[in-house]
Structure 1
Amino acid sequence: ARRQKMGAWLYDEDRWPSGAAGGLVTKDEKYRIRFLEYSLVKSIPASAGKGIQKAFAVVLNSGALLSYRPYQASDKLKVNEQILLFQERTGDPQSWFNGQTYLDALNPEAVEQFVRVTHEEYRKRFSSAFGNLVPGIFTDEPNFISHTPDNALPWTGKLPAAFRKKYGYSLEEYLPELVYLRKNRDFSKARLDYRNLLTELFCNAFAKTIGDWCARNNLLFTGHVLCEDSLFRQTYAVGNAMRFYEFMQAPGIDLLTEHWFIFNTAKQCTSVARQFGRKWRLTETYGCTGWDFPFMGHKAMGDWQLALGINLRCQHLAWYTMAAEAKRDYPASISYQSPWADEYSYVEDYFARITTALEKGEEIRDLLVIYPMESFWGRHVPGDDLPENRDFIQLTNELLGQHLDFDFGDEELMSRYAAVRNKRIIINKASYRAVLIPKIRTIRASTLELLHQFAKNGGKVFYMGKIPQYLDGEESLIPQEKYADFRHIGYSEFDFLLSPYVRHIRIQDCDGSEITPALYLLKKGSDFQTLFLCNTSCYFQTEQLEMPMVRDRQLAYPKARLLWDVPQNYHLYQLDPHTGKLHFVPQVTVTDKGISFPCPLEPLASRLFIASRKPLDAQAPLPQPVQQLKNALVLPAQAWPVSLDEANALLLDMPQAKINNGAWHEATHCLKLDSDLRAMLGVHPRGGRMVQPWCRSKSKNPKQLDLTLKYEFVCKVLPKQDCQLALECPEQYEITLNDSPISVKDTGYWCDRSIRTLHIDRRLFKT
């Protein structure tokens, strides 16, 4: 890294999720993940013993909880009653954690041990490079439920005492409400309080412990949590991702596949980052996109994240090796194994120019949207993905599509960091002119009082749906009283009611409607503004994980026009991120609300504009993109000379096998054959979940077998040139082609340095 003038970021785990240190921490059982297992049983099993937390006699009707009461083994069940048993358990050892378990991430002592085993070891070796050559450390998918059964609730030994201390009542008395909805009363304060405490324990134990350590050691704490992409999945795995970000110097997200438009995930991260003054917001991106994912896909995925404030791309990934099982990791490798590796600087230079241009100035977002997580908690039971989750996505899609940019405000963070100053709400380092309360069932008393004061000071508060029935999870009429100072709003009223207070940009089609697939980011300095926008080229939808492939996003807007509330005396320029050159912008019209100019958007287009009080050196305007086909030239379909920039490959993966000089077995796929052979030898099957080589025990006298593999293929046309055979560890084999021996002398590698090549004389092939 030093030679290449790069940063060497640290990774905190053997696999993921972070916390177990490859099983080194959880060798000690007191640090292992704990959970509360629940099930309907015929009777309390004698073997359960002291592990039982609580048993209840419950009456269920179509999954709804009609009644429940404590149950003892000596009790008799009444008509229609069943036994619901809750039992505290410790995670079972698994090969994924090298024969150990995941960490109890709700236990600060367990996380401190993780830091001693991992972070302190890095400090011993590399502390002199911390903060310069080593900018930070990446955590990967920490959570509090990983690798537990489906019928498990997150738990830790000190949770019951912490719950009673915080809320003044016993959680154990209400355990059935954590897994079933009460009939005719689907909201539960116990559920709300339980999930809130889980989040608090998790964030304080894991995020704060590591974030504080990083702050003391001049490192950026970065990475992302597990299941951050919906209210439902966060509730299951981490509680509330926004509260985790408070303790990260460079909070981050994970974007998998090309099909995810997880705008809320990005917004959760960038909202907290802006509120806490975090310059860098990371994205682990391009994972699971495949070997054939094009450069336009890399651009498109990075563009929309940039427009939402995510500015540090952590590319997934570059392989050290393709040897053995490593070749089946998630592709693609952004390294020499990919044929386009030498051209990838084109993508990196593009993003480097945009990120540099957007580095200065303050983000402008004047709308605060109350984060609806706590209402979801009070209604959620395991496996129940609520309509609130879709409402949450739809709200974000509508605001972004109308170009009314916003931040989320988490109620717990607001209770500690928010205040009213004049006609603005301040959350730490960010301020807002208007507040939007989405459809919610409960609201915190602290939030309600803050918004009431804001409205009394002349601030604008809007709310959607019905007035919440609950205050801090308990039924109350106080919201009815306070909401009298707020204004109801529906989706169709967003533009009319919100624009006077929070709008800075319009991206319009020729009919004056907002181009909803376009996203933007606006930043302001004392004498300049910078605007980045991109055309996602597809309509947003609530099924946010099922967006079309990038190549199929084709929406274009040749007559798009941009309206921008920049001062009339500013000079306008366009920076071309493909070249780094600055250009004048033609046909600019000055209006009473700023400026307006044509901004045609071809599919997947992006634009970067700079408005400056001072004139800048610039070139002639960029040529307008081609908007229509004028002439088509039909070319012949054949007789084109073609040359390959790498060897043409024939995959051999269906061998016949002869074991210990026995009979030939029929052709079998190589991976199945590998598993069969391992079973014969009493060895665990090869796979992504197997124990890692570094901690795998070695047998003193391993079983062995003799193996001969035969690959058959048809050669219709004899090759005109000599060929190569590519395989791993060729020195371990004796190889023949049509009964002629092939030298195992190494002649180089194909695709990856672990796949060596051997020379094959073309005369050995037969038709």
Structure 2
Amino acid sequence: MDIDKFKNPGIEWRGKPFWSWNGKLDKDELLRQIDIMKEMGMGGFFMHSRTGLETEYLGDEWFELINACADYAESIGLEAWLYDEDRWPSGLAGGIVSRHPEFRQKAILLEIDPVDDGKDVIAEFFCDLDGVVCTNLGSGKQTLRFSVIEQGASGFYNGYTYIDTMNRAATEAFLKSTHEKYAAKCGGRLGKSIKGIFTDEPHRGALLDGFSMYRDDGAFCAPYTPVLFEEFEKRFGYDLKQKLPELFLQVDGKRISQVKWHYVELLQQLFLENFAIPCKEWCDKHRLSLTGHVLHEDNLTAQTAMSGSVMRYYEHMTAPGVDVLGEHNKNYWIVKQLSSAARQAGKKQLLSELYGCTGWQMPFAGHKAVGDWQALLGINFRCHHLSWYTMRGEAKRDYPASILHQSAWHKEYSHVEDYFSRFGLMMAQGKPACDLLVLNPVETFWAQVHLGWSKGLGLQDEHLKTLEDKYRKLFTWLLESQVDFDYGDEEMISRLGNVENGMLKVGCATYKTVLISGMETIRSSTLRLLEQFAAAGGKVVVAGNAPEFIDASSSSEFPVSSFESVAFSKDAVLSVVPERQAVVDAPDIFGQLRVTDDGLIFAALNVDRDERRKNVNVRIKTNLPVAEFNCETGEVKRVQELPASNGWKTFKTGFPKGGQRLWVASEKFLSLVPVDRVTSSGEGKVLDGPFEFKLSEPNVCVLDSAGYRIDRGDWQPEKDVLKIDRQIRKEHGVLRRGGEMLQPWFTATQPIKELCDIELRYSFEIQTMPQWIDLVIEEPENFTVTLNGNLLDLSQTERWIDIAFHRVRIPDGFANIGNNEIVLKTPYRENSNLEAVYLLGEFGVQLSGAVRNIVPMPETLEMGDICEQGFPFYSGAISYHIPVPENARKICLPEIGGACVRVNGQILGWDPFEAEVDGELAEVDVVLSRRNTFGPLHDTERVRPWNGPDHWLTEGAEYSDAPLLIPSGLLKAVSW
């Protein structure tokens, strides 16, 4: 391994965020933001239309800006990538395709005992029903009617629907309306300054799940395409129409159904043949890499509900990917599925769309934790979700945080990118030491779908819940024991699998052992190959119950005696898998071993973010000297080895909370002097304060509730300004703003409706007059603004945080001691935005319930939450001037309320938050998140699994009039 490359990886290993084009785009501002991305350590970007886009999507100006950004990126050494849709999912070209009815997504609808005559009816049956169990089919008392319906229209699809991705003509229309335009407008840039294109969340429609827009209860719907019945009979030899009750229900209580299995297999084939493959062929023809991910990979349930087998889709992408939403979504197996298919198909670049829905509050430690396990399992192409062009209007609630200049920590973010570029580079070296194949049991789920089996991707079927649980357990048992493995998709195995020299080969990967677990049906093609493998000396093990069905049919019996059987338990499984070549003697440590021409690479990760692992034994089977590669600092140090034993190198280390270690065994490190890892000990001396401090930005007071009146009527009591906005839209029958709003560029193609005149009255108290106060508002050109009846001049403003925020100085004498009122007036139109306003200044802020009080700024800060010390809404950085006790050598910050810290200029992003100090004073800069400024400030569930636009408009018990804040600042510090 080249140490210089490790210290300074190239742009191919650096992140490429989703750059949200979500406003009225300006070339100079776009180019400025590209410079910022480079300063943040990024390697490029995806140009991605998002909620709030005002520049016409796929219009002439759009392509001019695409080309300008691609050219500029190339000139400064970054990569530019396209995104193939207006928002997502890919396929409708912002409504251009689905405005044609023949291309819209459709479904088969089941109605039980319908009362009307019906429309587009396929078939009717009589039966008796007990829940989902159907008996007396053909002679019962209840009616089952099946018909074809169209997906409901949505503002998210600009008033249309999603497309039928199983219809080749719809895909061709998509390619013509989008890809061909890029080919015509971007010319020779494709494959050069424009590296590739991202396709996002295509799917073939929800399967009996309820996650659907067909009708209120989508659980009664199954995907349909016009050739469905014809192709089903052609490929499987019987008429699906006559089997529709068995597809939707459990006929005579039968759980496993070949009809269900055949149906989902057909959906998979049509989805691949008519969408995935044409898109890949187009990209290959135009020298573009195709990346992205399909919809809902999180578990076997989600995959069955929306796509089938995601592993089979990965074959048809240049750089296949996944998305991992939220900060605590530990769906490890989806990346393992991806890396498995990639290994078998020979693909080297693996993408993850990560950090979406995490909220402003996620710290660098969260960025590391979310990315670490993915990098360990093979992700080397990071797509950050999201980096906003602007925060104007609804755009500011499009799944923050913005991983760009709007976040106070953007100047420190290169620390994160340097770390992951090194980690990704190392995990792409050599080949995995992986001899175990685990059959992926997703088809067992296919064969058991039924009405209500899942609801909105939440599994309802108790039997299938046990299978999901076994799937998770098996993964965890293996990875926490540092046993690497690949998943095997049965259809891929049928095409790519063969037996060579006693090994099972699947495409580019080979295996010594195959493990079957959690499968209730298995393909006959899989069985034949495994029997050949076993006969050639290969090892096939069944953990737990063997499959009872072959090809989802009970007509054949699984050959139990042909293979080894063990109990479904951790110890039993570990006793039959291939011998481990690297071991960490501690719980919750995932590991991956790779073999290179020079030796070995072993990476290990503590997936526990709450507990450290101290004094841990690590053993690697090698005779080569071992060095630790520090991905955070770029340092390389030889480890202090314990006495060798039977060809194993043994040494001790510690793992911080969520800590990662990476070692390389190679002759290259023979000359390095072994170094012990230095770790802190003892509790140290607690540093209490008070401390002198300095802010990086003016303090801020958020005013997000207002009294209001409409069309000069009576003034109404104060209310959350976003709820006022929603009320106006509801009263005038206009789609509300939010994640599913009509795009501004689309709205502008039609006459803009004028709805009413609105006045907003924001109030605040001043106890002591500060030297100066600034007001920040959005869209000053659309408002007249008065303070206590004095008209403000909005003709000259400055930028604050984002181009959307306009800052104007309040003249002396406009504000008063006591109560103050800011009144905004505007004609409210269909494209209007009512938003919070902000006060800036050298003041403190006290909260009395929902009332904001301007008070003097404190002279010092105590250790602890700054929200209680005059800074409830502040979100910049705070520099604490901390006296260092005599003889102290280190300072440790075990609790911070912020994204990261700097100690005397050294960035600390995650545990253990330790830095050496030398001198009498330490400058500790806590860089905060923007959460206490931009919210959500009124959501009573402060820590959600994920954050979305609706969490700014919660209701009832989930809403608080008074702002709810998260602790911020320096919460605890010790020295020793």
Same fold (TM over 0.5): yes
In the alignment, which of 84, 104, 112 is matched to residue 40 of structure 1? 112
* Contact 2:196–2:291, Cα closer than 8 Å, also in 1: yes
> What corresponds to 1:544 in structure 2?
none
Structure-1 separation of matches of 2:811 and 2:671: 62
1:370 Cα offset (Å): 0.5
> What corresponds to 2:93 in structure 1?
21
Structure-2 separation of matches of 1:701 and 1:438: 59
> What corresponds to 2:156 in structure 1?
96
1:503 aligned onto 2:580 = yes
Structure-2 separation of matches of 1:694 and 1:370: 47
> What corresponds to 2:127 in structure 1?
58
* Contact 2:149–2:214, Cα closer than 8 Å, also in 1: no
* Contact 2:229–2:239, Cα closer than 8 Å, also in 1: yes
In the alignment, which of 700, 704, 715 is matched to residue 653 of structure 1? 704
Over the aligned positions, Cα root-mean-square deviation in angstroms equals: 2.0
> What corresponds to 1:692 in structure 2?
743
1:718 Cα offset (Å): 2.1
Structure-2 separation of matches of 1:701 and 1:10: 30
Structure-2 separation of matches of 1:179 and 1:617: 68
In the alignment, which of 237, 245, 249 is matched to residue 176 of structure 1? 245
* Contact 1:582–1:618, Cα closer than 8 Å, also in 2: no
1:477 Cα offset (Å): 4.0
1:306 aligned onto 2:375 = yes
> What corresponds to 2:816 in structure 1?
765
> What corresponds to 1:631 in structure 2?
684
C-alpha change, 1:182 and 1:699, in structure 2 (3 Å) is closer
> What corresponds to 2:558 in structure 1?
479
* Contact 1:9–1:137, Cα closer than 8 Å, also in 2: yes
Residue identity opposite 1:291 in structure 2: W
* Partner-residue secondary structure (3-state), 2:79: coil
* Partner-residue secondary structure (3-state), 1:291: coil
1:495 Cα offset (Å): 6.0
Structure-1 separation of matches of 2:283 and 2:757: 53
Structure-1 separation of matches of 2:670 and 2:160: 61
Residues 422-473 of structure 1: per-residue CA shift (max 9 Å, x gap): 1211001001111100121111111111111111111111002223221112
The equivalences for 1:144-543 within 5 A come to 144-145=204-205, 147-149=213-215, 150=218, 151-384=220-453, 385=459, 386=464, 387-480=466-559, 483-494=561-572, 497-499=575-577, 501-509=578-586, 515=587, 517-537=588-608
Structure-2 separation of matches of 1:701 and 1:22: 19
The range that moved more, 54-63 or 246-255, is: 54-63
> What corresponds to 2:80 in structure 1?
8
In the alignment, which of 711, 734, 750 is matched to residue 762 of structure 2? 711
C-alpha change, 1:182 and 1:632, in structure 2 (3 Å) is farther
In the alignment, which of 776, 791, 798 is matched to residue 726 of structure 1? 776
> What corresponds to 2:797 in structure 1?
747
* Contact 2:380–2:425, Cα closer than 8 Å, also in 1: no
* Contact 1:224–1:252, Cα closer than 8 Å, also in 2: yes
Residue identity opposite 2:668 in structure 1: K
* Contact 1:367–1:502, Cα closer than 8 Å, also in 2: no
Residues 352-378 of structure 1: per-residue CA shift (max 9 Å, x gap): 122223332112211000111111211
* Contact 1:434–1:502, Cα closer than 8 Å, also in 2: no
Structure-1 separation of matches of 2:268 and 2:817: 68
Residue identity opposite 2:741 in structure 1: M
Structure-2 separation of matches of 1:453 and 1:388: 28
Residue identity opposite 1:383 in structure 2: G
The range that moved more, 674-683 or 582-591, is: 674-683
C-alpha change, 1:455 and 1:584, in structure 2 (3 Å) is same
1:42 Cα offset (Å): 4.0
1:312 Cα offset (Å): 1.1
* Partner-residue secondary structure (3-state), 1:247: coil
Residue identity opposite 1:418 in structure 2: G
1:619 Cα offset (Å): 6.5
* Contact 2:482–2:592, Cα closer than 8 Å, also in 1: no
Higher RCO, 1 vs 2 (CA within 8 Å, ≥6 residues apart): 2
Residues 260-301 of structure 1: per-residue CA shift (max 9 Å, x gap): 110111111110011111111100000111111000110111
1:701 Cα offset (Å): 7.9
1:184 Cα offset (Å): 4.2
Structure-1 separation of matches of 2:154 and 2:568: 50
Structure-2 separation of matches of 1:705 and 1:442: 62
1:494 Cα offset (Å): 4.1
1:236 Cα offset (Å): 1.0
> What corresponds to 2:619 in structure 1?
563
Residues 129-161 of structure 1: per-residue CA shift (max 9 Å, x gap): 233322211111111115333121011110111
Higher strand proportion, which one? 2
Structure-1 separation of matches of 2:182 and 2:239: 42
C-alpha change, 1:484 and 1:495, in structure 2 (3 Å) is closer
> What corresponds to 2:180 in structure 1?
120
1:554 aligned onto 2:585 = no
Residue identity opposite 1:147 in structure 2: M
Structure-1 separation of matches of 2:536 and 2:169: 46
1:86 aligned onto 2:146 = yes
* Contact 2:132–2:451, Cα closer than 8 Å, also in 1: no
Q: With the length of structure 2 as denominator, give the TM-score of the two structures.
A: 0.72
The number of residue pairs the alignment matches comes to 726
* Contact 1:229–1:265, Cα closer than 8 Å, also in 2: yes
Residues 317-366 of structure 1: per-residue CA shift (max 9 Å, x gap): 10011112111100110001111111101100111122223332112211
Structure-2 separation of matches of 1:518 and 1:129: 45
In the alignment, which of 631, 636, 639 is matched to residue 585 of structure 1? 639
* Partner-residue secondary structure (3-state), 2:347: coil
1:577 Cα offset (Å): 1.3
Structure-2 separation of matches of 1:154 and 1:707: 45
> What corresponds to 2:651 in structure 1?
597
* Partner-residue secondary structure (3-state), 1:187: coil
1:614 aligned onto 2:668 = yes
C-alpha change, 1:133 and 1:364, in structure 2 (3 Å) is farther
The range that moved more, 239-248 or 663-672, is: 663-672
Residue identity opposite 1:210 in structure 2: C
The equivalences for 1:59-74 within 5 A come to 59-69=128-138
1:733 Cα offset (Å): 2.7
C-alpha change, 1:90 and 1:184, in structure 2 (3 Å) is closer
Residue identity opposite 2:780 in structure 1: P
> What corresponds to 1:512 in structure 2?
none
* Partner-residue secondary structure (3-state), 2:319: coil
Residue identity opposite 1:691 in structure 2: L
C-alpha change, 1:190 and 1:645, in structure 2 (3 Å) is same
Structure-1 separation of matches of 2:721 and 2:338: 44
In the alignment, which of 753, 756, 760 is matched to residue 806 of structure 2? 756
Residue identity opposite 1:737 in structure 2: L
C-alpha change, 1:57 and 1:735, in structure 2 (3 Å) is same
> What corresponds to 2:169 in structure 1?
109
Residues 698-726 of structure 1: per-residue CA shift (max 9 Å, x gap): 6658435433322111222322x212100
* Partner-residue secondary structure (3-state), 1:577: coil
Give ranges in structure 1 of 5+ residues lacking alignment.
70-77, 510-514, 538-552
Structure-2 separation of matches of 1:241 and 1:130: 27
